[in-house]
Amino acid sequence: MMSKADKVFSLARRRGFFWPAYEIYGGVSGFYVWGPYGVLLKRKIRDLWRELFVYNLGFFEIDSPTISPYIVFEASGHVEGFKDVMVTCKSCGKKFRADTLLKEKGVEVEEGLKPEEYLDLINREGIKCPSCGGSLGDPDYFMTMFKTTIGPYSDAIGFLRPETAQGMFVEFKRIYEVFRKRFPIGIAQIGRGFRNEISPRQGVIRLREFDMMEVEYFFDPENDDQFDLDEYMDETLNILHEKLIREGGGEYETLTVKEILERGIVEHKSMLYFMVLAQRFLEILGIPKSRQRFREKLEGERAHYARKVFDQEVLLDKWGWVEVSGHADRTNYDLSRHAKYSGEEIAVERLLPEPKTVYIREAYPEPKKIKEQYPDKIGLVMKELSRYSPSELYKILDENGSIEVDDVKLDKSFFRIVEEEKRVTVEKFIPHVVEPSFGLDRITYAVLEYSYTERGDRVVLSLPAYIAPIEAAVYPLLDRDDLKGVAASIVRDLEMAGFRVFYDYGDSIGRLYARGDEIGIPVAFTVDLRSLNDDTVTVRDRDSWRQYRIEINRVVEFVERLVEGESFESIASSMGLESVD
């Protein structure tokens, strides 16, 4: 018995939704091609996501490079966090992380040891394979980011981004300026990410190169109420939170938004808002709420940058619960790290509830005076002094009476001293970030799996009409020039209205319908001999196979209403169409 996944993969390959890449060279796992219909389907899903998560929320999108210099992912913590030293057992072949292996044996391990150092430790402690007792091979790095070189100099190492998020963090300062310091800010990015997975084997579910749709919502954690959850208070979510998992349950509980807030399961309102939206997004795509859940990630499962994470999961036939989006509280980790590594101040201002008085005590060097006294040293002295902030300089001068740089002793007279009281009404802080992050390829696959139905021995892809890659089909009942002429003019009408139309002929009508059903075309118009006399055609529903007679000049309206979400039967009855038996 074929699993549903196997059937979907077979259909996808046969009809051109997706297939393994580089097939003529034997294929490379982790890389897939999205074919003609797959691209159209993905685009519709992406556009719907844009409506929900970008435009409707007043957010904007950016498009940053996929390749970054080394320092970006050093700052983000990925270089450290993505690189583990692994050892492989020589006899049973199992792989272990060197650090956890040693820690389990009670050996103290420092952070960031090199493979050779691990080798010494393993030999000294006589560590054997915990699984079979065999001897262990040489430890080696395993890094899941793709590395490349930038320009012709091999020492300029670059990385292919493992997430689009860093682009939004790195560019935050400019974005903040562009929006003239409006705050909070939501930024989205849709694009490719790259992860050099060890052994991806679930087709389009685990790719080495994949499309991500991410929002970084920058906000003030002390004032997180941009989103109004009131209208969603009674909406329910299936949630498998930490407490349930710890109590040993694999079963989620269904809670209302109100309960989730009251029990503090999700702290940030914005995060919960995105989760509710994510659930609706998938429902609109045809994946019922009952097949979705949010699973909290436990301590060890979370990425290094996240304080709290809920994965939105969808129940798939073959693989069980599979993550399709992640909702992470990234705190101010990323921005503060980039601030530190770049030396730039990355902060926004917050209005204080009460103005407060601060005492400013600063010392600014006076280059002219220093130059008069030490004309030869001025350059060096100024350079050294610039290492200190004005307030640090004040402090040193205040405590020591002078400051010594490079054999030059400068007392207060070489500085302009500022001592004043100031009323401040704002304070600076580094924004916190809540991130909903979606895997477009997985979502597209899930949509295909949930749309896949069989009718007898035929396959029908019951995609919602508003995401169907092809909106309508037009067929002549018979392979005759007069009928084909009428069909061609209906095709033109629909194309002029902006629809993609599938036109086919020459085979039996059943065969034509069957092909259209497999690529999910929601509606078909068939030109027959009667059409030549009364300018009507039959309109056929993909899912029920019901047919009505419709005037040719109303065909475009019918399709328009269908892709706006109205049901086939509702349109037929409100148009007063004659049923065909």
- Distance of closest approach, residue 170 Cβ to RNA, in angstroms: 16
Instruction: Answer yes or no: are the C-beta atoms of 212 and 439 closer than 8 Å.
Output: yes
- Indicate the SS3 state at residue 388: coil
In the range 161-190, which residues lie near RNA by CB under 7 A? 162
Instruction: Answer yes or no: are the C-beta atoms of 185 and 433 closer than 8 Å.
Output: no
457 binds RNA (CB under 7 A): yes
Quick one: 68 or 184, whose CB is closer to RNA? 68
* Pattern 312-351, RNA, x by CB under 7 A: ------x---------------------------------
Instruction: Answer yes or no: are the C-beta atoms of 60 and 40 closer than 8 Å.
Output: no
Q: Please give the sequence-ordered ranges of beta strands (E in DSSP) within 199-347, or none if there are none.
A: 209-219, 236-240, 253-256, 292-296, 308-316, 320-331
Q: How far apart (Å, rounded) are the C-alpha atoms in residues 425 and 29?
A: 57
- Distance of closest approach, residue 553 Cβ to RNA, in angstroms: 17
Q: How far apart (Å, rounded) are the C-alpha atoms in residues 188 and 61?
A: 4
Q: How far apart (Å, rounded) are the C-alpha atoms in residues 313 and 166?
A: 24
Number of residues in contact with RNA, rule: CB under 7 A?
60
Quick one: 502 or 513, whose CB is closer to RNA? 513
- Distance of closest approach, residue 446 Cβ to RNA, in angstroms: 16
- Distance of closest approach, residue 336 Cβ to RNA, in angstroms: 18
When binding is defined by CB under 7 A, the residue of 528, 551, 557, 566 that contacts RNA is: 528
Q: How many CB atoms lie within 10 A of CB 307?
A: 12
Instruction: Answer yes or no: are the C-beta atoms of 90 and 134 closer than 8 Å.
Output: yes
Phi, psi (rounded to 5 degrees) for 31 = -125, 125
533 binds RNA (CB under 7 A): no
- Distance of closest approach, residue 324 Cβ to RNA, in angstroms: 13
In the range 60-119, which residues lie near RNA by CB under 7 A? 78, 81-82, 84, 88, 92-97
- Distance of closest approach, residue 300 Cβ to RNA, in angstroms: 9
Among 570, 529, 527, 566, CA closest to 550: 527
Instruction: Read off the DSSP letter of residue 548.
Output: E
Quick one: 385 or 460, whose CB is closer to RNA? 460
Quick one: 365 or 439, whose CB is closer to RNA? 439
155 binds RNA (CB under 7 A): no
567 binds RNA (CB under 7 A): no
Q: How far apart (Å, rounded) are the C-alpha atoms in residues 451 and 42?
A: 14
Binding site for RNA (CB under 7 A): 10, 13-14, 20, 26-30, 78, 81-82, 84, 88, 92-97, 144-145, 162, 195, 197-199, 201-203, 206, 301-304, 306, 318, 457-459, 477-480, 507-511, 513-515, 518, 526, 528, 537-538, 540, 545, 547
